[in-house]
Amino acid sequence: MCEPKKPKRILMGPGPSNCHPSVLAAMAEPLVGHLDPEFLTIMDETQDMLRQVLKTRNELTLPVSGTGSAGMETCLCNLVEPGDRVLVCVNGVFGTRMADIVGRLGGELHTVEAEWGKHFEPDAVEAAVRECSPKVVAIVHAETSTGVRQPLEEVSRIAHEAGALFLVDAVTSLGGCNVDADGWQIDAIYSGTQKCLSCPPGLAPVSFGPRAMEALEARRTRVPSWYLDMTMVKKYWGADRTYHHTAPISMIYALNRALKVILEEGLEARFARHRLNHRALVAGLEALGLEMLVAEPYRLPMLNAALIPEGVDDRRVRKALLNEHNIEIGGGLGPLAGRVWRIGLMGHSCTPQNVMLLLGALEELLKAEGAPIRPGAQGAAETVYAEA
């Protein structure tokens, strides 16, 4: 039977990103068993590369079989028991999701909130920690729903001085900007493969540090999720190779190759590429007259939230971008629905060519919408590239 040809999109939304051709090719490699000696070697290699990208020596560092939200649930369900006090920092969708999971686990939920599009001031977090004395402080490093980059060092200090574990969501930041798990004393961290790692969705890297492992081993109750129970999963990924579940062989092939691509480019060079393309994109958007949601010091290079001009139809522009220019961008979520466009510059999708294509297409479509824009978006971006 003849299958319809799938479109080849330019993915510039909040994820997934485009994959390097060699990553897609890796998924077509022949299958082996999940306990095959060759595959066990690939597992070890993948763990070692994950540690390099996360900047950690944590033994329990592995890709959970599931998307980024499975990584979130893994960290929380292994560290939170009924009655445990947990402070979740909420300034977007994914802080809200962590709070939801804490409630489902029977934890005693406490939140500190910031306006969507704003970062957390350390003083606000410190006051909330003093008030509730939590076992865990959880925060999002890169809030995909708003484009906020949250500085972590001070929050880490506050959590540890209060005797709490520090848990971080790095789903959108890992592989696109610096994530220093050991340097920032992060006790548990999770990510996803489909953003700046430029691997298809389906795996969630997680890493548990020594303090998190002590908390896991000291649990009074069993981990409520059998599938995500790290006391069992770690035995498959460790020296014992004890069977737990059938690993997604092809996805691990893909992640292995994606991590090689990242390390071949070099972490600092990769971060610099994301920053440069971000600066060029913002220059072009501002040249058109668009404003950014997030203040400059706290913007994510890989997720850019631009305010939609008054009178412009959000859905119509995004539909035209997709149908006429083959470019996907994202709309706003929650209180930002219809107010912002979320433009991704992640991993393999983060290129000058994509920046220039999007700016040209947006200028054309905004003119068609009758928006009072100024021409010259591509020229503004070219100036940034020339200066670099």
- Residues 82-111: tens digit of each pLDDT: 999 999 999 999 999 999 999 999 999 999
Mean of pLDDT values over 369-386: 94
Mean of pLDDT values over 258-280: 98
- Residues 166-185: tens digit of each pLDDT: 999 999 999 999 999 999 99
Query: In the chain, count of helices (H) and strands (E)?
Result: 13, 14
- 3-class DSSP state of 60: strand
Closest to 46 in 3D by CA, of 237, 229, 223, 191? 237
Q: Rounded to an integer, what distance in angstroms lies between the CA atom of residue 72 and that of residue 205?
A: 10
Q: Rounded to an integer, what distance in angstroms lies between the CA atom of residue 74 and that of residue 78?
A: 6
- Residues 197-223: tens digit of each pLDDT: 999 999 999 999 999 999 999 999 999
Is the pLDDT score of 14 beyond 80?
A: yes
At residue 1, the pLDDT reads 65
Q: Which fold has domain 267-387?
A: Aspartate Aminotransferase, domain 1 (3.90.1150)
What does the DSSP assignment read for 318-366?
HHHHHHHH-EE-EE--GGGTTTEEEEE--GGG--HHHHHHHHHHHHHHH
Q: Rounded to an integer, what distance in angstroms lies between the CA atom of residue 370 and that of residue 368?
A: 5
At residue 168, the pLDDT reads 98
Mean of pLDDT values over 47-55: 98
**CA distances for 25 relative to 12, 15, 16, 49, angstroms:** 22, 20, 17, 19
Closest to 139 in 3D by CA, of 110, 161, 162? 110
Count of other CB atoms within 10 angstroms of residue 121: 14
- Residues 103/110, Cβ–Cβ less than 8 Å: no
Pairing outcome for strands 60-65 and 203-208? antiparallel
What is the pLDDT of the chain when averaged over all its residues?
Answer: 97
* Element (DSSP H or E) covering residue 379: helix 377-387
At residue 95, the pLDDT reads 98
- 3-class DSSP state of 144: coil
Count of other CB atoms within 10 angstroms of residue 42: 17
At residue 3, the pLDDT reads 74
Residue 360: pLDDT band by 50, 70, 90 thresholds? very high
Vertex 78 angle, CA 75 and 84, to 5°: 100
- Residues 195/174, Cβ–Cβ less than 8 Å: yes
Is the pLDDT score of 187 beyond 70?
A: yes
- Residues 147-165: tens digit of each pLDDT: 999 999 999 999 999 999 9
Residue 7: pLDDT band by 50, 70, 90 thresholds? confident
**CA distances for 216 relative to 2, 40, 157, 222, angstroms:** 51, 25, 21, 10
Range 70-84 burial, b when 16+ CB lie within 10 A, else e: bbbbbbbbbbbbeeb
Mean of pLDDT values over 67-74: 97
Pairing outcome for strands 188-190 and 165-169? parallel
Q: Which fold has domain 21-264?
A: Aspartate Aminotransferase; domain 2 (3.40.640)
Question: Residues with Cβ < 8 Å from 240, sequence gap 6 or more?
Answer: none
- 3-class DSSP state of 264: helix
Q: What is the residue extent of each domain of the chain?
A: 21-264, 267-387
Residue 374: pLDDT band by 50, 70, 90 thresholds? confident
What does the DSSP assignment read for 208-246?
E-HHHHHHHHT-SS--S-STT-HHHHHHHHSTT----S-
At residue 4, the pLDDT reads 75
Q: Rounded to an integer, what distance in angstroms lies between the CA atom of residue 110 and that of residue 305?
A: 28
Q: Rounded to an integer, what distance in angstroms lies between the CA atom of residue 19 and that of residue 272?
A: 19
